[in-house]
Chains A and B, each alone.
Chain A
Amino acid sequence: MSELVRSPTGMVGLALLSVVAVAVVFGSVLAPYDPQAFHPAVRLTGPSAAHWLGTDQFGRDIFSRLLTGASSTILFGVGATALGVLAGSVIGVTAGVVGGWVDSVIMRTLDGLLAVPDLLFTLLIVTFLGGGAGEAMLAVAVAFTPGMARIARSSVLSIRTREYVLAAVARDESQAYIIGQEVIPNAIGPIIVEATIRVSFAIMIGATLGFLGLGAQPPSTEWGLMVAEARQYMYRSPWVVAVPGIAIAVSALGFNLFGDALRDAFVTRGRR
C-alpha cells in the first residue's frame, strides 16, 4: 500500500477515486437541489452561484444530477466488473485446475468470444436481452467474462507448478483445499489489478449504452444518459454535455491510474 501511495500515478488515481467515492456514498445527501426538480426560469444556463454547474433543458440542477448519478454510474461499472470477474475466475480456475480436454474446450470457446470487441459483444447481448440498466450490467459482465477467465487461468497455470502447491499435493490435501487455500490466494493479485482497470472500461461502456438509449432510461441521472439527453442543446449551452462527459472521464481515469499503480506495485514486489 505504501508503494501505491508513493507512486505519482497511484496518488492521483487514489485522489480521483476518493472524490468519486464521496459522490457515490454521499451524493444524494450533498446534492443542493432535488435532481428532478424543474427550474424553468433558469434553464440551460452556465455555472452560477445558485447552480454551480449550470442547469439542463428542464432547468434541473446539473451539479445535483451529477452527484445523485454518481452511484448508478460508478456502481454500474463496479457491479458489472465484479460479476464478470466472479464468473471469469470460476471458469478460468476450473479450466486451469482441471486441465486436459475440459481446459481446451473452455479456452477455445472463450478465444472465439474474445475475438469480438467488448462494445460490440455488449451491444449484441443488450439487443438480445432488451435495454435497461440491469440488462446492460449483465451484458457488460458477460462480455468481460472471457478475458477475466483467460487471466485467471494463466495465473492458476503459473502457480500450479510452484513448490508450495506441489507440497500440498504431496501432503495429499484435497483438491478443494489446494484450490481454496493455495491457488486462489496467490492467483488473486493479477485478477484484482485487471479488475480495477476494467472498471473504467465498464463505466465507459455503461455510459455508451446509456448514451445509445440501451442502458439507464430517463429520468435517471446516469451520466451517459445525461450526455445523450443534453446533446441537442450542445450549441446553446456546452455545459450540459461537458459536465457529465468530464465526470465520466475523470472516474474512468481514476480507476485506470489506480489500476496501473496497483500493477506496478505487484510487479515490484514480485521482482524482489
Chain B
Amino acid sequence: MIDLHSNRRQVVIGLAAASAVPAIGFAQSGTPMQGGTLKISHSTRIATLNVMQLSGPAEYPCVDMLFSGLTRIAPGRNSADPDLATSWDANDDATQFTFNLRQGVTFHDGTPFTSADVVATFEAILDPDFGSPARSVLDMIESVDAVDDHAVRFNLNSPYADLPISTAHANARIVSAAALAGDLNHLETKPNGTGPFKLESYDSARITRLVRFDDYYKDGQPYLDAVEMHLFPDLAAESANYLSGNVDVMLNVQQADYARIAAAEGSNALRVPAGRYVNVVMRQDQPPFDDVRLRKALAHSVDRQLLVDLVLEGLGRPAYDNILSPEFQYAIESPEIPYDPAAAKALLAEAGYPNGIELTMVASNRPAIRGQVAIAIKEMARPAGFDINVEAMPHDTYLANVWRKGNFYMAYWGMQPTEDATFNLLLTSTASYEDTAWFNEEFDELVRRGRSTSDPEERAAIYAKAQEIQFRDTPYIIAMYQDVLTASRDWVHGWTVHPLNRVFYVEDVWLDRG
C-alpha cells in the first residue's frame, strides 16, 4: 500500500547513527572543493532578516548562514557545540554560567566581536518589549555581565542545566551592540553578523543572495563563494526547477512529492526523523473535555499508523500522545494506544455520552496538514460515536479568534531543542503558549525540578514521571511525528538538516560539478 521507495539515493539519518559520526552527510567523500554558488529553493517568503524576531521556514537557513550564536546545536543531536563561545562552565547548582568567547572574530562590517555584543544581545532578548521568541527558553536569566572583553557570566534566577542548549536558539544569535543601539529597523534588511556568509542582496519576493565572508573564524571555510535563496511560491514550479537542475537544493520537500524527488536521476533525497507534530487541542476547564474519559475515548479513535500512511505518505512515525519524540534524550517509550472504536465507545458512554457526541473542530488552512489530519480524525472517530464537524478557516482568522481560545482545534508545532523547552512551550501552567488549561501542579513541579537537576539519572527519572502523568491525563492527542524532508543534487556535498529544522551547517557544503 505504501511504497517507501527505499533506494540507494535515499538516506535516512537516524540520530543514533548520526551521533557516532562527527559530521553527518551522505556524500562526505573526497576533499572539499572551493568555489561555486549554491542555489537553494524555498516556497515561503523570507519576510524579514531580523534575527531577533524571525520565524519563517526559509528565514532560519539565512540566519544560520549570517549569524553565529554563543553555542550551536550539534549536527544530529540535541546538544550544544561551541560557536562564538569556545568553552563554558557552570557552578555546582547550575545557577551561574561563564562562557569564554572566541578571540579575533569580527562582524561582517569589520568591527571586532566582544563580550559587550553578547551582553547587548541577551539584554534585548530578555526585554519583554522586544518580543523575542527566544525569551521563553531564556527567561531564567537574571542578568548577563561582561567579565572581561572575552568572557561573559550569566546569572540565573533558578538552576538550569540546559542553558548552553538554550543559548543556541535560532533567535539568540549574536547581534552587534552598535546595531542594537542604532536604528532597530536596520535589523530587518541590513544584518551584521559573524556567520560564514554576509548579505549581498535581499529581495523578499525573489532572490536573497549571500556571499562568502572571508574573515569567518573557521579557517578555509565556507567553501562556497555564494548562496542564493530562490523563492518559488508555487510548489509544482519548485520541484520542476529542482528536477531540471536549475537549483541545487530543495529546502523542504512535500510528502506527496518525496518519492518522485527521491527516484529522480542525480537527486539525493534526505529524510530526517524529527519531533514535529500536529496536536489536537482540547480545552480542559470546561465540558466536555474536562472529562479525561472523553479525551481517552478520542485517543482510542485515532488510527495512528493509518494517519502516517494517509497524511504523511509514510514519512513519519506514529506517536502515542507523547509530546517528546524518541529523539529526546529523556523520552520514555510511550505505551501504544490501539485504534479501538469499541473501547472508545465504551469510554464515551462512561463519560455520559452513550449516544455519541457532536463536536466542532477548527483546522486552519495553513499548512494543509492541519486540515488533512482533522478530516482523517473525523472519519476515523465516527465509528466510536464522535460526530466531528471540521470547520476550516483562514490562518489569520484562526490566530485571531481560535488559537489559545477555542476548545477543540488542530495545532502544529516544530521540535524544540530540550525537554524543558518543549514542556514550557505548551504543557506547564505557565507555558509560553499554554492552551489546554490542564494546569497540573505535580507536572509543573516535576518540570521545575527537571530544569534544575544536573545529574542525568535523576533527571531521567523526573522526566519519566512527567511523561507518565501526561500519558495518564492525555492533555493532547499527538498522533504522529513528521519527518523533515529535504533534497540536494548529486554535485552538492555535505548538505544536511537538523531534526530541529533550524541549523544547516552551510559552511560545510561544497560543490563538485565535475
Binding site for B on A (CB under 8 A): 36-38, 40-41, 43, 57-59, 130-131, 213, 217-219, 229, 231-236
B502 at the interface (CB under 8 A from A): no
Q: Are the C-beta atoms of A213 and B1 separated by less than 8 Å?
A: no
B342 at the interface (CB under 8 A from A): no
Q: Which of B375, B378, B397 sits near A130, CB closer than 8 Å?
A: B397
Q: Are the C-beta atoms of A38 and B379 separated by less than 8 Å?
A: yes
Complex A-B, nearest 7 residue pairs according to Cβ-Cβ distance, in ascending order: A217-B392, A232-B256, A219-B375, A218-B371, A38-B379, A233-B256, A213-B365
Report A-chain residues with C-beta under 8 Å of the C-beta of B178.
none
Considering only CB atoms, which chain B residue lies closest to A214 in the complex? B394
Report B-chain residues with C-beta under 8 Å of the C-beta of A218.
371, 375, 390, 392
Within the assembled complex, what's the spacing in Å between the Cα atoms of A217 and B375? 11
Report A-chain residues with C-beta under 8 Å of the C-beta of B306.
40
Considering only CB atoms, which chain B residue lies closest to A219 in the complex? B375
Within the assembled complex, what's the spacing in Å between the Cα atoms of A202 and B432? 46
Within the assembled complex, what's the spacing in Å between the Cα atoms of A34 and B309? 21
Report B-chain residues with C-beta under 8 Å of the C-beta of A229.
368
Q: Are the C-beta atoms of A43 and B236 separated by less than 8 Å?
A: no
Within the assembled complex, what's the spacing in Å between the Cα atoms of A112 and B258? 48
Considering only CB atoms, which chain B residue lies closest to A230 in the complex? B256
Question: What's the dominant secondary structure at chain B's contact region?
Answer: helix
B310 at the interface (CB under 8 A from A): yes
B254 at the interface (CB under 8 A from A): yes
Beyond A131-B394, A219-B390, 15 additional contacts (C-beta under 8 Å) are: A36-B378, A38-B380, A40-B309, A40-B310, A57-B256, A58-B310, A58-B376, A59-B310, A130-B397, A213-B365, A213-B394, A217-B391, A219-B375, A232-B257, A235-B260
Considering only CB atoms, which chain A residue lies closest to B309 in the complex? A40
Can you show 20 pairs from A to B with CB atoms below 8 A apart?
A38-B380, A40-B1, A40-B310, A58-B310, A58-B379, A131-B394, A213-B365, A217-B365, A217-B391, A218-B390, A218-B392, A219-B378, A219-B390, A231-B236, A232-B254, A233-B256, A235-B257, A235-B260, A236-B256, A236-B260
Report A-chain residues with C-beta under 8 Å of the C-beta of B4.
none
B27 at the interface (CB under 8 A from A): no
B235 at the interface (CB under 8 A from A): yes
Within the assembled complex, what's the spacing in Å between the Cα atoms of A73 and B393? 20
Q: Are the C-beta atoms of B394 and A130 separated by less than 8 Å?
A: yes
Report B363-394 residues with CB < 8 Å from chain A CB.
365, 368, 371, 375-376, 378-380, 390-394
Known contacts A231-B236, A232-B235; decide if A43 and B310 are in contact (CB<8 Å). yes
Q: Which of B371, B376, B379 sits near A37, CB closer than 8 Å?
A: B379
Q: Please count how many residues in chain B sit with their CB below 8 Å of the partner chain's CB atoms.
A: 25
Within the assembled complex, what's the spacing in Å between the Cα atoms of A219 and B379? 10
Within the assembled complex, what's the spacing in Å between the Cα atoms of A43 and B310? 8
Report A-chain residues with C-beta under 8 Å of the C-beta of B256.
57, 232-233, 236
Within the assembled complex, what's the spacing in Å between the Cα atoms of A219 and B397? 19
Report B-chain residues with C-beta under 8 Å of the C-beta of A58.
310, 375-376, 379
Report B-chain residues with C-beta under 8 Å of the C-beta of A36.
378-379
Report B-chain residues with C-beta under 8 Å of the C-beta of A38.
310, 376, 379-380
Report B-chain residues with C-beta under 8 Å of the C-beta of A236.
256, 259-260
Report A-chain residues with C-beta under 8 Å of the C-beta of B368.
229
Report B-chain residues with C-beta under 8 Å of the C-beta of A217.
365, 391-393
Report B135-150 residues with CB < 8 Å from chain A CB.
none
Within the assembled complex, what's the spacing in Å between the Cα atoms of A150 and B27? 68
Report B-chain residues with C-beta under 8 Å of the C-beta of A235.
257, 260
Within the assembled complex, what's the spacing in Å between the Cα atoms of A229 and B507? 38
Within the assembled complex, what's the spacing in Å between the Cα atoms of A218 and B311? 14
Known contacts A38-B379, A217-B392, A235-B257; decide if A57 and B236 are in contact (CB<8 Å). no
Q: Are the C-beta atoms of A41 and B235 separated by less than 8 Å?
A: no
Within the assembled complex, what's the spacing in Å between the Cα atoms of A236 and B313? 12
Within the assembled complex, what's the spacing in Å between the Cα atoms of A69 and B259? 30
Considering only CB atoms, which chain B residue lies closest to A38 in the complex? B379
Within the assembled complex, what's the spacing in Å between the Cα atoms of A235 and B379? 26
Report B-chain residues with C-beta under 8 Å of the C-beta of A59.
310
Report A-chain residues with C-beta under 8 Å of the C-beta of B397.
130
Report B243-292 residues with CB < 8 Å from chain A CB.
254, 256-257, 259-260
Report A-chain residues with C-beta under 8 Å of the C-beta of B235.
232
Report B-chain residues with C-beta under 8 Å of the C-beta of A43.
1, 310
**Least Cβ–Cβ distance between A162 and chain B, in angstroms:** 51
Report B-chain residues with C-beta under 8 Å of the C-beta of A37.
379
Within the assembled complex, what's the spacing in Å between the Cα atoms of A41 and B391? 27
Report A-chain residues with C-beta under 8 Å of the C-beta of B378.
36, 219
Within the assembled complex, what's the spacing in Å between the Cα atoms of A222 and B465? 48
Within the assembled complex, what's the spacing in Å between the Cα atoms of A164 and B376? 65
Report A-chain residues with C-beta under 8 Å of the C-beta of B365.
213, 217
Report B151-174 residues with CB < 8 Å from chain A CB.
none
Report A-chain residues with C-beta under 8 Å of the C-beta of B310.
38, 40, 43, 57-59
Within the assembled complex, what's the spacing in Å between the Cα atoms of A40 and B310? 7
Within the assembled complex, what's the spacing in Å between the Cα atoms of A57 and B256? 9
**Least Cβ–Cβ distance between A132 and chain B, in angstroms:** 9
Considering only CB atoms, which chain B residue lies closest to A44 in the complex? B256
Report A-chain residues with C-beta under 8 Å of the C-beta of B257.
232, 235
Within the assembled complex, what's the spacing in Å between the Cα atoms of A41 and B309? 10
Within the assembled complex, what's the spacing in Å between the Cα atoms of A229 and B256? 11
Within the assembled complex, what's the spacing in Å between the Cα atoms of A232 and B256? 6
Within the assembled complex, what's the spacing in Å between the Cα atoms of A219 and B373? 11
Known contacts A58-B310, A218-B375, A218-B390; decide if A41 and B236 are in contact (CB<8 Å). no
Contact string against A for B residues 439-468, beta-carbon threshold 8 Å, 1 for contact and 0 otherwise: 000000000000000000000000000000
Report A-chain residues with C-beta under 8 Å of the C-beta of B309.
40
Considering only CB atoms, which chain A residue lies closest to B395 in the complex? A213
Report B309-346 residues with CB < 8 Å from chain A CB.
309-310
Within the assembled complex, what's the spacing in Å between the Cα atoms of A37 and B375? 10
Report B479-501 residues with CB < 8 Å from chain A CB.
none
Within the assembled complex, what's the spacing in Å between the Cα atoms of A233 and B310? 12
**Least Cβ–Cβ distance between B290 and chain A, in angstroms:** 28
Within the assembled complex, what's the spacing in Å between the Cα atoms of A217 and B254? 21
The residue in A43, A217, A231, A233 that gathers the most chain B C-beta atoms within 10 A of its C-beta is: A217
Report B56-105 residues with CB < 8 Å from chain A CB.
none
Within the assembled complex, what's the spacing in Å between the Cα atoms of A233 and B368? 13
Report B-chain residues with C-beta under 8 Å of the C-beta of A219.
375, 378, 390
